[in-house]
Structure 1
């Protein structure tokens, strides 16, 4: 996994914090200086924290767990949808559904409802409904798709949460804390980093900055997924070897071999 360059972060404007009067004192360790009434983030610390977070995310991806991305602010929506989509990870870019994590069973029911509507359309049941009913079902399907379509493949609670702007996504943060789900986040100078397990001090308002951080994170996750795929292929090849050997063995030894395989 390639290490992040401080120059790249600088080019992306990752170092620009908020106005000094809006700062959270707990972000002091990550602030380099003040310039024209704005706090400047220490990019050397950002680079170190980003590398640390990326390594942890790669391990989670390699373990087969999903990482849920959360970003409902305008500047981050499209970037998160693109980067999370590239690595086949679930994401929330519309309103955070209350109880998304703490009441996951209910959310899964809503996702299944979406699947059942799709089945109705395939098997022809949809066409037997009245025009008014079809319109209602279509509206429900569109609403579910907008809010939950991006998490339709998430069949269990995620292995981690990645958040852009923890102040805005405070409900998601609280739910993850309640369930002890590790939280990774871009944390600006106006936020409390103590709420996050893996802090990435960064400008969470500029799309260029968000893109820089998300690109590095998604590349790390892609690396973790590639490792998992390679490991699976290696195991599959390992299982084929005994089968080839078995054909050469005597019939008397065959039952013993089958027991070992079980």
Structure 2
């Protein structure tokens, strides 16, 4: 951990010490002399200060060239305003001595409040030690385009390259999360568990912190075939069954199992039946590729994109989107996985906003359709009323003609 940085602010010590000691000496001499018998004794009890009088007194006095009041003749008591000025001067003199504590590194903030992709800076990567590689004897020649130079037998990774690849990986995570893809964070080293879990929570994804079980992707139906699969909407909520759908499902299960419909238990959410093929992830983020080569091979076999932290001793072609950085520094790993988690969170929130806008548009469209149907009904009702009125008028006219014909016959 980087120690706290203290920046000293002081002028020449002799000036401050002399000003401060003279001020204190004068204040001490005045206080001792005012307590003698020749000077008036201060009244006992609470002190009542007339602020209007003090303001007038301060306005009538000449401004001092320095904040430190000039010494007065011994034996003459100080007013309350002068004592206040002496105390302010002493405080001002003492404040110039010492240091100011600047912002320092807080380890927990990279987990609880990681930076966003837009906050990626070279200073942040440098402070986390992401540019430190391995010894030159352990390097992989495929990382030559990422290396900036050598210092004391250690390869240094270019900060510009780290920032560019990290931004690209963040855009990939943002796009997968926005489209509702399944993201898995894999970090099996000591100390990575908490950061991996927090990043998975932000993206509503999944995490692996203990050990990658071989065959999780290639042999998924045998390993994960007994797991229940639930259907989620674009808001990551389980789709619930309507009462009609629930009744039809009960009748279907009762007919297949030859049981009473009332005894069949059905959950309120839509579920896929047992035996349905297991789901593969859409993106895998690996924080330590050297320990998870089996996982990377399984992803490559089924063309699942991967993101990995590639140190100078790792082959960059083992992942789809490499992030050249120091994978041994816990602070560097927490920074990278925190940024990727934030990118997934932004993509998920963008999906929620798009879904909310789509639902609002559907509501408006349904409202417009209902309004159009209502207008059509009103038009049809008016046409029917008009038709009924015309029919009644024609019938009445026919009756009048019949009555006139009967009168003429008579």
1:162 matched to 2:278: no
Distance 1:40 1:194 in 2: 20
- Specify whether residues 100 and 251 from structure 1 end up closer, same or farther in structure 2 by C-alpha distance, changes over 3 A only: same
Displacement after TM superposition at 1:78 (Å): 2.4
SS at match of 1:247: helix
Higher relative contact order (CA 8 A, sep 6+): 1
**TM-score normalised to the size of structure 2?**
0.50
1:60 matched to 2:179: no
Higher helix share: 1
Out of 32, 51, 59, which is 2:167 matched to?
Answer: 51
Distance 1:205 1:234 in 2: 44
The answer for unaligned runs of 5 or more in structure 1 is 113-154, 255-262
Distance 2:376 2:175 in 1: 41
**TM-score normalised to the size of structure 1?**
0.77
- Specify whether residues 239 and 193 from structure 1 end up closer, same or farther in structure 2 by C-alpha distance, changes over 3 A only: same
Distance 1:44 1:19 in 2: 21
Distance 2:141 2:281 in 1: 31
**2:185 maps to which residue?**
69
Moved over 6 A (4+): none
The answer for unaligned runs of 5 or more in structure 2 is 1-116, 229-277, 378-410
Distance 1:86 1:62 in 2: 13
1:40 matched to 2:40: no
Q: Is the 8 A contact 1:165 1:188 kept in 2?
A: no
Displacement after TM superposition at 1:197 (Å): 1.1
Structure whose alpha-carbon radius of gyration is higher: 2
Distance 1:40 1:173 in 2: 26
Report the RMSD for the aligned CA atoms in angstroms.
1.9
List per-residue Cα deviations over 1:201-241 (Å, max 9, x = no partner): 01111110101111111111111111111110111011111
- Specify whether residues 250 and 32 from structure 1 end up closer, same or farther in structure 2 by C-alpha distance, changes over 3 A only: closer
Distance 1:238 1:161 in 2: 34
List per-residue Cα deviations over 1:1-49 (Å, max 9, x = no partner): 5151011011111111111111111111111111122111111100000
Alignment: residue pair count: 213
**Structure 1 range deviating more: 192-201 or 70-79:** 70-79
